Structure 1
Amino acid sequence: MASTQIQSPIYRIFEDAFNRGNLGVVDELLSCDHLAHNAFGGAPNGPQGLKWLIAMFRTAFPDLQCTVEDEISEGDKFAAHWTMRGTHKGLFMGNLPTGKQMQAHGIIFARFEQGMIVEYWMLIDQFGLLQQLGIIPR
């Protein structure tokens, strides 16, 4: 893994927060009034919203592992393609555990000001994820 990737804010969110459960990194990297545009409605803006999303995934998939597959930055913008893997062992979007494994791909596009994320757009293949869990038919 390239040393530039290890230092990137996006890598830190996935490695430290999603994979390790260190939610303090969210406070370090997101402005207190950042705007979030993501596939899971109901999460508030600000660091608490991303913490809620991370906690939801870590509860539903206790063995959760996210990998940043590719990333690029230019000026005040940053984008990454990532993969999420885990076993459904907890409540997820109101659905009881299925014990099934999933792998889902996603993208994030973030805008920075003064070294902090002030806005991000995050998409995940939610349909494919729910199909893998057997929650919706293939």
Structure 2
Amino acid sequence: MTDKDLKRLAHRHIDLTWNRGRLALAEQLHSADFLYKSTFTAHPLDSAGYRRLVEDIRAAMPDLQVVVEECIAEGRKVFTWSTLIGSIAQPALGYPASDKVLSIPAMAFWVFNSQDQVQELCTLFDMESFRTQMGLQNRPFAEQALP
């Protein structure tokens, strides 16, 4: 596959999971050893764990839309910069419900295997921006860095 084709697969995966909730279709794009890492998770997740995470977030944010701002590919790797837009209708991941419409920047690093399946996905959400928009206290850098 070309870089352009892999970028299309990353876009398709984002659309199927986050925007449409078509998780069974998205899982077909995963390799058998799929691994997901994120600022939302304490440890890596397999495909089933990733599905549960997306289901939980989509249930809490029924108006969620993910817009891909930038997508870059080289070799078997893709980088996406996205913005998640929506409000938290019910508590999720330890955060309270809010009627505020949030705009959460996120970056993701994708690794595709030789069968053009998503083998690894690592997503970094801008949690400090999220906390600020929610009106929650930000954590000073030193507090985050120290045990």
Q: Please tell me the TM-score bracket, short chain as reference.
A: 0.7 to 0.9
Report the counterpart of residue 85 of structure 2 in structure 1. Answer: 85
Report the counterpart of residue 39 of structure 1 in structure 2. Answer: 39
Report the counterpart of residue 48 of structure 1 in structure 2. Answer: 48
TM-score (ref. length: structure 1): 0.86
- Alignment partner of 1:16: what SS? helix
**Percentage of pairs with the same residue:** 28
Note if contact 1:85-1:104 (Cα within 8 Å) is conserved in structure 2. Answer: yes
Note if contact 2:60-2:88 (Cα within 8 Å) is conserved in structure 1. Answer: yes
Which structure: greater strand fraction? 1
CA distance in 2, matches of 1:61, 1:87: 6
The number of equivalent residue pairs is 135
In the TM superposition, residue 74 of structure 1 has moved relative to its aligned partner by 1.3
TM-score (ref. length: structure 2): 0.81
- Alignment partner of 1:41: what SS? coil
CA distance in 1, matches of 2:43, 2:22: 19
Give runs of ≥4 in structure 1 deviating > 6 Å: none
In the TM superposition, residue 135 of structure 1 has moved relative to its aligned partner by 3.0
CA distance in 1, matches of 2:36, 2:85: 23
CA distance in 2, matches of 1:60, 1:136: 21
CA distance in 1, matches of 2:102, 2:70: 20
Aligned: 1:20 with 2:24? no
Note if contact 1:43-1:49 (Cα within 8 Å) is conserved in structure 2. Answer: no
